């Protein structure tokens, strides 16, 4: 993919599920006008409040697998029983037109993207203050009986082990402070290119 220098840059957020990356992304996108959210495709079902084409493109398994066959993804992963992937055409279109993208990817997707765009991506890892706080946030968001809660907590331990491979690490304790820190890191990256 790295043919010539793409004009737009890729900012990647990774964090264990429930840490707060979607919440932080929303606030950061409201503050940095030249940054757009990269909408991934997924086979997981929509959560209340999620919209097609805004939070994800919601595909069924067959549609997703057909797109894999056609080479439609820059990267994709399968976890929590579902596929998640970054769409090649949409990403190319954005960076070729000079738009910067904010991507919400799991740790493996983030590191794969860095290999494809070593000079044009910034990987930001967001840590929860503790596992106890992470569990509380997941319970608050998804409810005690949500499918995948235990799986998300187990995966969190694994994901935390990848933090040191990221360009920047921020702890999401106080939300306002985190948003200020993350906005500062991204602005600095975009202006010192
Ligand atoms: N590799 C990869 N991971 C993705 C993509 N889109 C979302 N994810 C990751 O999929 C995981 C689950 O996302 P989601 O079901 O929305 O749950 P949440 O993280 O708890 O909000 C998170 O770690 C996301 O960062 C993608 O296009 N590629
Ligand atoms: N700094 C914070 N302090 C307290 N609650 C938070 C904070 N950041 C996010 N949350 C809450 O935690 C839950 C998980 O956040 P979300 O953005 O959905 O996480 P992720 O996208 O990482 O899975 C949500 O209910 C959100 O409102």
Q: 152: Cβ below 6 Å to ligand 2?
A: no
16 annotated ligand binder: yes
* Enclosing domain of residue 186: 10-191
Q: What percent of the chain has pLDDT over 90?
A: 85
CA of 193 to the centre of ligand 2 (A): 31
* Atom of ligand 2 at shortest range from CA of 16: 22
Q: What is the pLDDT of residue 56?
A: 97
| Mean pLDDT value across residues 113-120 | 92
Q: Is residue 1 part of a domain?
A: no
Q: What is the CATH number of the domain that holds 87?
A: 3.40.50.300
CA distance 160 to 152: 12
Burial 68-97 (b: 16+ CB within 10 A, else e): eeeebbbbbbeebeebbbbbbebbeebbee
Question: Does 166 map to a domain?
Answer: yes
The answer to whether position 40 is within a domain reads: yes
Q: What is the pLDDT of residues 58-82, one digit of tens each?
A: 999 999 999 999 999 999 999 889 9
Residue 5 domain-assigned (yes or no): no
Q: What is the overall mean pLDDT for the chain?
A: 93
User: Which residue(s) pair with 40 in the sheet?
Assistant: 56
- For residue 4, tell me if it sits in a domain: no
Indicate whether residue 23 lines ligand 2 (CB < 6 A). Answer: yes
Token pair listed for 20? 């707060």
* Residue 103 belongs to a domain: yes
- Give the residue with greater pLDDT, 146 vs 14: 14
**Mean pLDDT within 74-102:** 94
pLDDT at position 35 over 70: yes
Q: What is the pLDDT of residue 3?
A: 53
159 assigned to some structural domain: yes
For residue 6, the model assigns a pLDDT of: 52
* Domains held by the chain: number: 1
Using the predicted structure, report yes or no on whether residue 104 has a pLDDT greater than 80. yes
In a domain, 127, yes or no: yes
Q: Is 21 annotated as a binding residue?
A: yes
Residues 6+ apart with CB under 8 A from 144: none
Query: Residue 5: what pLDDT?
Result: 56
- Classify burial at 191, counting beta carbons within 10 Å of its beta carbon; exposed 0-12, middle 13-18, buried 19 or more: exposed
ipTM: 0.96
pLDDT digits (tens, 9 = 90+) for 129-172: 999 999 999 999 888 777 778 888 999 999 999 999 999 999 99
């Amino acid at each position: 993919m790295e043919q010539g220098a793409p004009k737009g840059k890729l900012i990647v957020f990774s964090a264990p599920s429930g840490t707060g990356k979607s919440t932080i992304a929303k606030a950061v996108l409201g503050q940095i006008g030249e940054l757009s959210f990269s909408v991934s495709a997924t086979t997981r079902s929509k959560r209340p409040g999620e919209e097609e084409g805004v939070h994800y493109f919601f595909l069924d398994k067959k549609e997703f697998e057909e797109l894999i066959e056609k080479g439609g993804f820059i990267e994709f992963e399968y976890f929590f029983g579902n596929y998640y992937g970054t769409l090649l055409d949409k990403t190319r279109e954005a960076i070729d037109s000079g738009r910067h993208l904010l991507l919400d990817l799991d740790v493996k997707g983030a590191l794969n993207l860095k290999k494809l765009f070593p000079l044009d991506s910034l990987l930001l890892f967001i840590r929860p203050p503790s596992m106890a706080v992470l569990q509380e946030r997941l319970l608050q968001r998804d409810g005690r009986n949500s499918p995948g809660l235990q799986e998300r907590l187990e995966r969190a331990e694994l994901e935390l082990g990848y933090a040191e491979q990221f360009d920047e690490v921020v702890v999401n304790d106080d939300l306002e402070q985190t948003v200020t820190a993350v906005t500062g890191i991204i602005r600095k990256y975009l202006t010192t290119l």
